[in-house]
Chain A
């Protein structure tokens, strides 16, 4: 992003070096490029609590301000080398810009270089955003593209990064490798358990009190209905109807007492009344 093209002078020199190296026979030594100076700076993910500094396909780095002053000219470019953590030891700095491993070859080469920026952008005095985001560009990286691409990372890593200053003759300075950076791996939402943690005490209180009140009411109604039904059953059983509120008293007719016999009546069976007197005879009663 924002790559400044090499000055014409540098580009011609680099390509001419490449042409010469191919034309000469192997035993002709061409000028050795001095090894890149090792800077003590260690790139790192910002320690601030930013939720987006590590996502599934991108990560953020602190911007290395003032790190390359004194080691880079204004015409040099600073690249970011991204490599899998287990392949970082095997990474060799590319001798020229043409040998820079590109984003598309990450799965095979296990490393790539991106974020080609002019060294002036990292100068102390340059105003700049505080972070670099690796993996920010989703539209680059087409087939056969030769431009450096800051595309999203294909796997969670872990990755290690370092900055490399490339000049006209190849790498001029490099920083140390960072600590391994591991990206997020998202889990599936089916692992979320939506069940409530505990049965609420509210439910228990409401349900138990309401149930007991309801039971009391039901019992009261049944009791009242039962008492009314039982009362009416009792009254019907003793022979009176419930509607007529009067009660009957039976009369007991006492048997008639034997009447005293009128004078002149002889003994005769009681209840037959008195017959006409007959000539007195002996009482048959004894």
Chain B
């Protein structure tokens, strides 16, 4: 029976290796999702105001799934080495539950990445930026978040509007209701500012003379980090799930062979 002994040893070795990889990927997934949830670019208020921040929900699930994968991989290694049917049965059942959660997280992240179109942010910016009459506390909170985020975005990234300053001219907006068109064809933050925070040349900014206003749109500054976030959660989770699938099948086969 030396040959089947070797076979068993090889299978055990492969399963231990598979579980080690799952454990490391679990830690990586947790770290990545914590990074996304911490919102380093300050874009969360924009997502919150769309009332559909499922990408953040997917990242939160990712944190716990990653940690669960790490813990279960340790359980799996112990179960394989001790050839214990009970431990491996517990491992398989808990892994299946974790698998289901991670599937949900991946599909959510992938679906909601498509949801983040330029028109979505344009409409939100026009309807909420510097809106003066808010209906309730929730509306006020979201409006303040959007206004602060846009002010910061336009200053830091030297951009204006979603596609450009012409967004403010093509559409009426909550901003236009309180700021007249002659003095504010676009918000002040679209102007090139000096070190003290005032426009370098206000008349040049109002006319749109190159060099005195920000001519590019902010969409790239918004969609870049959000796409990275969504891709990171969706595709890394997908890779982990493919690997976990193979390890789980191997573990089930091993479990069925234990006397």
B256 beta carbon closer than 8 Å to chain A: yes
Q: By the criterion CB–CB under 8 Å, are B170 and A221 in contact?
A: no
Residues of chain A having any CB pair with chain B under 8 Å: 50-53, 55-58, 60, 129, 131, 133, 135-138, 152, 184, 186-189, 192-197, 199-200, 202-203, 206-207, 209-211, 213-214, 216-218, 220-221, 224, 227
5 CB-based A-B contacts, threshold 8 Å: A129-B203, A131-B207, A133-B206, A133-B207, A214-B103
Q: By the criterion CB–CB under 8 Å, are A196 and B182 in contact?
A: no
Q: By the criterion CB–CB under 8 Å, are A50 and B208 in contact?
A: yes
Of the stretches B22-30, B32-40, B60-68, B242-250, the one at the interface is B242-250
Q: By the criterion CB–CB under 8 Å, are B114 and A51 in contact?
A: no
Q: By the criterion CB–CB under 8 Å, are B252 and A221 in contact?
A: yes
Residues of chain A within 8 A (CB-CB) of B209 are: 50
Q: By the criterion CB–CB under 8 Å, are A52 and B206 in contact?
A: yes
Residues of chain B within 8 A (CB-CB) of A207 are: 107, 110
Size category of the binding interface on chain B: 35 or more
Q: By the criterion CB–CB under 8 Å, are A213 and B114 in contact?
A: no
Residue of A nearest to B122 (CB): A192
Inter-chain CA distance A189–B169, complex, in Å, is 11
Inter-chain CA distance A135–B207, complex, in Å, is 12
Inter-chain CA distance A195–B119, complex, in Å, is 8
Residues of chain A within 8 A (CB-CB) of B122 are: 189, 192, 194
Q: By the criterion CB–CB under 8 Å, are A210 and B241 in contact?
A: yes
Residues of chain B within 8 A (CB-CB) of A209 are: 238, 242
Residues of chain B within 8 A (CB-CB) of A221 are: 92, 96, 252
What is the CB-to-nearest-CB distance from A61 to chain B, in angstroms, rounded to a whole number?
11
Residues of chain A within 8 A (CB-CB) of B173 are: 189
Residue of A nearest to B174 (CB): A189
Q: By the criterion CB–CB under 8 Å, are B107 and A206 in contact?
A: yes
Those 6 A-B pairs whose CB atoms lie nearest each other, nearest first: A52-B208, A51-B208, A194-B120, A189-B126, A152-B182, A50-B208
Q: By the criterion CB–CB under 8 Å, are A52 and B185 in contact?
A: yes
What is the CB-to-nearest-CB distance from A60 to chain B, in angstroms, rounded to a whole number?
6
Inter-chain CA distance A187–B123, complex, in Å, is 12
Residues of chain B within 8 A (CB-CB) of A213 are: 241-242, 245
Q: B143-182, CB under 8 A of A: which get 1 and which 0?
A: 0000000000000000000001110011111001000111
Q: By the criterion CB–CB under 8 Å, are B114 and A192 in contact?
A: no
B220 beta carbon closer than 8 Å to chain A: no
Partner among B120, B181, B215, B242 whose Cβ is within 8 Å of the Cβ of A55? B181
Partner among B169, B183, B242 whose Cβ is within 8 Å of the Cβ of A51? B169
Inter-chain CA distance A227–B252, complex, in Å, is 13
Inter-chain CA distance A189–B126, complex, in Å, is 7
Q: By the criterion CB–CB under 8 Å, are B99 and A214 in contact?
A: yes
Within 8 A of A (CB), among B54-82: none
Residues of chain A within 8 A (CB-CB) of B119 are: 192-195
Residue of B nearest to A51 (CB): B208
B14 beta carbon closer than 8 Å to chain A: no
B234 beta carbon closer than 8 Å to chain A: yes
